[in-house]
Amino acid sequence: MILPDSKTELARRGNKVVYDLGDKIAKVFNETKPVSDVFNEALNLARINECGIPSPKAIEVTQIEGDENGWALITSKIPGVTLAEKIEAEPQRFGEYLEQFVDLQIEIHGYSSPLLNRQDAKYSRMINSLEQINATTRYNLLERLDGLKKGQSVCHGDFNPTNVIVGENGELAVCDWAHATQGAPAADVAMTYLLFALNSKEQAEAYLETYCNRADMPMQIVHQWMPVIAASELARKRKVDEEFLLSWVDVFDYQ
Ligand SMILES: Nc1ncnc2c1ncn2[C@@H]1O[C@H](COP(=O)(O)OP(=O)(O)O)[C@@H](O)[C@H]1O
Ligand SMILES: [Mg+2]
């Protein structure tokens, strides 16, 4: 496939560029991205499409030729703006947007998709891959993970307002299913909490309170997941505050 000249760039990150092709979206990865990850994201998305969660449709995985070469995931485009853009434009309405965001996540957690990758297997693999953490702490984290309730809910794995698209009629859809698994909602909530906390502790607390109230979930369960989730975020090697994550990984501070 050759990308049309009319494309516009939506986002550029370490290993990918996301383009708007008009009626489709192309996520084009560079050579550092394992091709199997691109196919895995497409497979996750196809499974999510099949279980009925509002999401872009998976169209194809293809090799792009020309200047922007690399493997790409092509999906349908959902016209609209992200919830993150909405919050930035109208910070006084944060509470209202937060409720919509939380209700959408609770709705997703109500779905199951028995063939999705398993969350506990993914987290244990990520913990084992950590170089910043010694064997003793890794063992503690794996023991903790072992003791936590597994669950079978669809979990987005990177649920944050940049991955929620508000359509032209106000309907919400969710993109970016690269990290989707089936597992415990509380783990997914801990990840979203952590993503908020990297920018604003206040927003993170407001999020956690709203989720736990609306889903009738004890906050303690989310707290129990935090060290595991912080460790797996460390393993993702995104450009985030490593010291902050390491402080969360310190399992001895948590019981
Ligand atoms: N199908 C889509 N329809 C509309 N916008 C999209 C779609 N997919 C991605 N986007 C936009 O592109 C941005 C980056 O895409 P995303 O899949 O989230 O990549 P990343 O993994 O880099 O976060 C999103 O935050 C959203 O603004
Ligand atoms: Mg994203």
**Among protein residues, the one whose CA lies closest to atom 17 of ligand 1:** 176
8-76 matches 80-253 in fold: no
Average pLDDT rounded to a whole number, residues 91-96: 97
| Average model confidence (pLDDT) across the chain | 95
Q: At what angle do helices 219-236 and 119-128 cross, to 10 degrees?
A: 50
Q: What is the fold, at CATH topology level, of the domain defined by 80-253? A: Aminoglycoside 3'-phosphotransferase; Chain: A, domain 2 (3.90.1200)
**Among protein residues, the one whose CA lies closest to atom 25 of ligand 1:** 162
Q: Which ligand is nearest to the CA of 54?
A: 1
**pLDDT at 9 exceeding the cut of 90:** yes
Q: What is the pLDDT of residue 252?
A: 55
Q: What is the pLDDT of residue 237?
A: 79
Q: From the alpha carbon of 178, which atom of ligand 1 is closest?
A: 21
CA 190 – ligand 2 centroid, Å: 17
Lowest mean per-residue pLDDT among 55-59, 160-164, 234-238: 234-238
**pLDDT at 197 exceeding the cut of 90:** yes
Average pLDDT rounded to a whole number, residues 74-81: 98
Reported confidence tier of residue 91, pLDDT bands at 50, 70, 90: very high
User: What residues line ligand 1, using a CB cutoff of 6 Å?
Assistant: 10-11, 13, 16, 18, 25, 27, 56, 75, 77-78, 82, 162-163, 165, 175-176, 178
Tens digit of each residue's pLDDT (9 = 90 or more) over 198-255: 999 999 999 999 999 999 999 999 999 999 999 999 988 776 788 888 888 886 554 4
**pLDDT at 115 exceeding the cut of 50:** yes
CA 176 – ligand 1 centroid, Å: 6
Average pLDDT rounded to a whole number, residues 151-173: 97
- Give me the architecture of the 8-76 domain, per CATH: 2-Layer Sandwich (3.30)
Domain range list for the chain? 8-76, 80-253
Q: What is the pLDDT of residue 15?
A: 93
| Token code pair at residue 175 | 């993109």
Lowest mean per-residue pLDDT among 62-66, 82-86, 176-180, 236-240: 236-240
CA 154 – ligand 1 centroid, Å: 19
* Euclidean distance between CA atoms 164 and 81, whole angstroms: 8
Q: Could you tell me which residues are beta bridge partners of residue 60?
A: 74
Q: Three-state DSSP class for 9?
A: strand
Lowest mean per-residue pLDDT among 15-19, 65-69, 82-86, 158-162: 65-69
Residue pair 227/144 in contact (Cβ under 8 Å)? The answer is yes
Alpha-carbon dihedral sign for residues 46, 152, 186, 131 = negative
Q: What is the pLDDT of residue 239?
A: 64
Ion ligand 2 nearby residues (CB, 5 A): 163, 176
CA 209 – ligand 2 centroid, Å: 24
* Euclidean distance between CA atoms 185 and 191, whole angstroms: 10
Q: Could you tell me which residues are beta bridge partners of residue 25?
A: 20, 75
Give me the half-sphere count of Cα atoms (radius 13 Å) on the Cβ side of residue 15: 14
Q: What is the pLDDT of residue 255?
A: 45
